Amino acid sequence: MRFKNSYKAAALAFVATAASGSQAVAQMRVVATTPDLASVAREIGGDRVNVVALAKPTEDPHFVDAKPSFIVTLNRADALIEGGAELELGWLPPLLENARNGKIGSGAPGRIVASEGIRLLEVPTSFDRSKGDIHSLGNPHFMVDPVAAKVVAANIAAHFAQLDPKNAAVYNGNLAKFNTRIDAKIAEWQRALAPYRGAKIVTYHRDFVYLAQRFGLSIVDELEPKPGIAPSPAHLAQVIGEMKSNNAKVILVQPFQNRKTAETVARQTGAAVLDTPQQPGAGGNGTSYFDMLDNLVRNLATGLGAKK
């Protein structure tokens, strides 16, 4: 009898501990496909959310190494934030299928598609994936435009408030703070790049079009003949000619792109290769979205200044 009672008491105590424990850590489990989206989600969710990114900061968001552990992470998620516009088409759909989590199913409140509400650039007039173009719904690299990031932040805040209504005021307050901070930063970044308005740049992939539009830079060409298609000697010869005739002096690369190819082109054109990662945490560029853009703008301004 005594044993039974003490067992019962222990069981009750365990339940009470588990309940208070779960209350203390009642954070929403948020999964983001890429670190930039994860960073914005942390700004909006604060201590109400636990955010993990699937892609490493140094990985190509189009071609992420899909680990089996991602399926477990997605299975337990309360929300998923994806870039959308087919950015993750090559790796995310099979993971979601295996994760079998209705909370993050297509159209569920827990499924947050960042591209919704973004006016995508380069939307093709005809839908054709057969030519190997991996931007067949338009250009999905909009996060590097801080004004687009504001749209994404608002989208995330609206979904978080819907999923967790008792903390809606927290999410909306964090969104207001994010907007105030990014507006000040946008003005700062505009000032830093103002001397280089109209500067000609070359990129490896078509991943800087939103940044170029926001800050008034002019993209001459890409080393890839088409998004997702590796540079060919014939195409590179054409790019070298264009760079010489346009006096383009910088080539922007990200960590997962072939820097050697960029260096070869740079040698033949007197250009500089600039390391401009778009993901926070890519090494030396901080851990937040703000750090990443600070670093990117600084590298760009320094590189363009040196070649002016």
- Least separation in angstroms between residue 249's CB and Zn ion is 24
Q: Cα–Cα distance between 62 and 11 in angstroms, integer?
A: 49
Cα–Cα–Cα angle for 87, 92, 94, rounded to 5 degrees: 140
Q: Cα–Cα distance between 285 and 262 in angstroms, integer?
A: 21
- Least separation in angstroms between residue 295's CB and Zn ion is 21
- For 34, counting Cβ atoms within 10 Å of its Cβ (0-12 exposed, 13-18 middle, 19+ buried), the class is buried
Of 173 and 225, nearer to Zn ion (C-beta) is: 225
- Least separation in angstroms between residue 69's CB and Zn ion is 25
Of 227 and 281, nearer to Zn ion (C-beta) is: 227
Q: How many CA atoms lie within 13 A of 285 on its CB side?
A: 25
Of 152 and 163, nearer to Zn ion (C-beta) is: 152
Residue 170 CA to chain centroid, in angstroms?
23
- Least separation in angstroms between residue 140's CB and Zn ion is 6
Of 43 and 88, nearer to Zn ion (C-beta) is: 88
DSSP 105: S
Of 110 and 227, nearer to Zn ion (C-beta) is: 227
Of 35 and 227, nearer to Zn ion (C-beta) is: 227
DSSP 54: S
Of 227 and 231, nearer to Zn ion (C-beta) is: 227
- Least separation in angstroms between residue 260's CB and Zn ion is 20
Cα separations in angstroms, 201 against 152, 197, 213, 250 = 27, 11, 12, 5
Q: Cα–Cα distance between 148 and 170 in angstroms, integer?
A: 22
Q: Which residues contact 265 (CB under 8 A, 6 or more apart)?
A: 202, 223, 236, 239, 240, 243, 251, 271
Q: Please give the residue ranges that form the binding site for Zn ion (CB under 5 A).
A: 227
Residue 23: count other Cβ atoms within 10 Å of its Cβ.
Answer: 8
- Least separation in angstroms between residue 221's CB and Zn ion is 15
- Least separation in angstroms between residue 206's CB and Zn ion is 6
Residue number of the CB closest to Zn ion reads 227
SS3 60: coil
Of 84 and 227, nearer to Zn ion (C-beta) is: 227
- For 94, counting Cβ atoms within 10 Å of its Cβ (0-12 exposed, 13-18 middle, 19+ buried), the class is exposed
Reading phi first (left if > 0) and then psi (alpha if -120 to 50, else beta), residue 270 is in: left
- Least separation in angstroms between residue 87's CB and Zn ion is 7
